[in-house]
Amino acid sequence: MKKFQIIRILILVVFLLVMGAQTVSAQYQLAQDAYAIFEKSCLGCHGSGGFVAAVLLIEDHSVLLEKEAVVPGDPDASRLYNRLLGEGGALMPLGGPPLPDEEIETIENWIAAGAPDWATLPISTVNHTVSESLIRSGDTFTVDIGAENDFDSAKWQLDIAFDPAALEAVEVGEGDFLMMDGGTTTFQAGSIDNAAGTITGVTAERTGDHGVMGMGTLLQVGFKAKSSGETKLTLKNIQFDAITAGDVSVEPYEITLTVEEQPIAGDVNGDRQVNILDLVAVAQQLGQPVPINSPLDVTGDGAVNILDLVRVAQHLGSTAAAAAPPASTENISPTMVEAWIAQARLKDDGSLDFKQGVENLQKLLASLIPGMTALHRNYPNPFNPETWIPYQLATAAEVTLTIYDMNGQLVRGLPVGHQGAGIYQSRSRAVYWDGRNQRGETVASGLYFYTLTAGDFTATRRMVILK
Ligand code: HEC
């Protein structure tokens, strides 16, 4: 028992000596690689669930050392290494193909490096948080880079890479990680290169004779978002220096950020332009309660009212896309716009915004009211069996459409009723004829005339039914 303990202590001393000479990260990598080989080729039999577990538990680092299957620092004296070469018994893995040379070499190197334990080597990880949950282009925001480690760390360093087209680094500030337990530090903010998209040489070092362990913030980096879209930040050359061991490197760490586009004032339907459709969207909800932060409540006063409409009207024509298609005036009638203007006047607060809004509504009204009343060409033409007859009214009028045949005989009268000034072009607004006469019979192929009467105005055009 005593002899056994002495051997253990000796092994530990050798282990620590070899450890000190190497960087912890290299040790850690070797131990991980060796364990991966055991896991793949040995644990099926030598693992705690395997049928020869009693012979040698390879997954348990301490068992390997206790049974001296592994002699740290001396591969040739290690039974485990010799068995891989087929010496001192059957070739391992038993019954399977021999391990490839490079895997045998990895295990040899691992033993030569002192057979570090894969379970207890120091580990460091980095993490991050972003100050804003929603970043829009043009915004500034801060990325906090944090760390968590389980060893005495007294120094760290890292570099940052980012896309200079998407982000601009503004400033780098130190976090509290190394200041835990009231430590003092020296910090170097590194150098920002916004042309290359790098921040290099960021480092902090703790003065005194002991390091820190646990969680904290390494640094805070302020950025400005230059354009929208998804962009990546990479932390590179991350290294922590342990007082008791060596350096611990951490794999590069990637942060993905999404930058949203800046909203366009008055764009309530989110199509990146302000046009009639936005006016209609607000008009449809006039007087209705809407959820908090609804884009329809442009003024943010908790309701959709004429003030929101005026505000949208103020921004009519603003657009993000250079070649935006003009929105149709389909859903909007001059009467509606007239009513809006009347309502808006009652609420006039004399502000410039208000003035612009009402002016734009008046321009819109003007564009909706044609200069003169007219009857337009029917569509389709020739047709079978139905057609639409568009017209426009400069002033409100009683409208009737009458259809005659080639001989001037009445075929069908289509009373439209009282119509406001405006353009009646679309299928939903033009006069519809189903190609039937007064008795409901479909009429024969041939030439027909249609006459529009609107107040004092009359006009006639021709059309052709082709069957
Ligand atoms: C198919 C099951 C099987 C696999 C897989 C296997 N072994 Fe073995 N191993 C055995 C058996 C059975 C024995 C005991 C008989 C013997 O010594 O030959 C043994 C014995 C050993 C011994 C000697 C025990 C001692 O205490 O000295 C070592 C070392 C060993 N194996 C290492 C390995 C290594 C390393 C691997 C993976 C690369 C491996 N074995 C894969 C079945 C296996």
pLDDT at 16: 46
Q: Does 148 share its domain with 249?
A: yes
Residue 330: per-residue pLDDT: 66
The best mutation among 39, 41, 55, 57 to test binding of ligand 1, ranked by most ligand atoms within 8 Å of the C-beta, falls on: 55
Instruction: Report yes or no on 149 lying in a domain.
Output: yes
CATH of the domain at 440: 2.60.40.4070
Is the CB of residue 89 below 6 angstroms from any atom belonging to ligand 1? Answer: yes
Mind listing the pLDDT tens digit for each residue in 384-411? 999 999 999 999 999 999 999 999 999 9
Is the residue at 338 inside a domain? yes
In a domain, residue 41? The reply is yes
Domain CATH for 165: 2.60.40.680
Q: Is residue 438 part of a domain?
A: yes
Same domain, 331 and 346: yes
Residues 283 and 336 both lie in one domain: yes
Is 100's pLDDT higher than 90?
Answer: yes
SS3 state at 41? helix
- Same domain, yes or no, for 311 and 396? no
- Within 10 angstroms of residue 343's Cβ, the number of other Cβ atoms is 15
- Give residue 81's Cα distance to chain centre: 51
Kindly give the distance from the C-alpha atom of residue 88 to the centroid of ligand 1, in angstroms, as a whole number. 11
Q: Which residue has the higher pLDDT, 231 or 95?
A: 231
Measured by CA distance, the residue closest to atom 35 of ligand 1 is 80
Claim to verify: residue 341 and residue 287 sit in the same structural domain? yes
149 and 196 in a common domain: yes
The answer, yes or no, to whether any atom of ligand 1 lies below 6 A from the CB of 46, is yes
**Same structural domain for residues 255 and 129?**
yes
The answer to whether 329 and 423 are in contact (CB under 8 A) is yes
Residue 267 lies in a domain: no
- pLDDT higher than threshold 50 for residue 21: no
Find, among 391, 362, 383, 366, the residue nearest to 461 by Cα. Answer: 391
**pLDDT of res. 374:** 96
Q: Which atom of ligand 1 is nearest to the CA of 107?
A: 35
Could you tell me if 23 and 82 lie in one domain?
A: yes
Q: Confirm whether 119 is domain-assigned.
A: no
DSSP assignment string, 89-103: SS-SSTTSPPPPHHH
Question: 268 lies in a domain?
Answer: no
Yes or no: say if 368 and 333 are a contact pair by the CB < 8 Å rule.
Answer: yes
Domain extent, residue 431, equals 374-465
Residues with Cβ < 8 Å from 140, sequence gap 6 or more?
170, 222, 223, 224, 225
202: which strand partners?
158
**Is a pLDDT exceeding 50 seen at residue 22?**
no
- Domain limit, last residue, from 112, 143, 175: 112
pLDDT value of position 187: 95
95 lines ligand 1 (CB under 6 A): yes
Structure tokens given for 213: 């362990």
Spatial distance between the Cα atoms of 61 and 70, rounded to a whole number of angstroms: 9
Taken in order 417, 422, 427, 433, is the CA torsion positive or negative? positive
How many domains does the chain divide into?
Answer: 4
Q: Name the DSSP letter for residue 16.
A: H
pTM equals: 0.53
Mean pLDDT lowest for which of 64-78, 165-179, 230-244? 230-244
Q: In the structure encoding, which two tokens stand for residue 90, read together?
A: 């059957």
Domain ends where: 367, 400, 416? Answer: 367
Q: How far is CA 69 from the centre of its chain?
A: 53
Residue 278 and residue 266 in contact, taking contact as beta carbons nearer than 8 Å: yes
Domain boundary among 78, 112, 146: 112
What are the structure tokens assigned to 63, written together? 């068992």
Neighbours of 187 (CB within 10 A): 17
> Residue 283: which pLDDT band, with cuts at 50, 70 and 90?
confident
Do 172 and 199 form a contact (C-beta atoms < 8 A)?
yes
User: Does 152 lie in the same domain as 47?
Assistant: no
One domain, residues 141 and 182: yes
Domain assignment of residue 305, yes or no: yes
Place 426 in a pLDDT band, splitting at 50, 70 and 90.
Answer: confident
Do residues 245 and 294 both lie within one domain?
A: no
User: Whose Cα sits closest to atom 28 in ligand 1?
Assistant: 80
Residue 286 and residue 359 in one domain: yes
pLDDT for residue 27: 76
SS3 for 361-401, per residue? HHHHHHHHCCCCCEECCCECCCECCCEEECEEECCCEEEEE
Structure tokens at 288: 């209705």
Write the DSSP string, 292-352: TT-TT-TT-SSB--HHHHHHHHHTTT-BSSTTPPPPP-TT--HHHHHHHHHHHHHT----H
Answer for the pair 413, 364: CB distance below 8 angstroms, yes or no.
no
Per-residue pLDDT reduced to its tens digit, 151-175 = 778 899 999 999 999 999 999 999 9
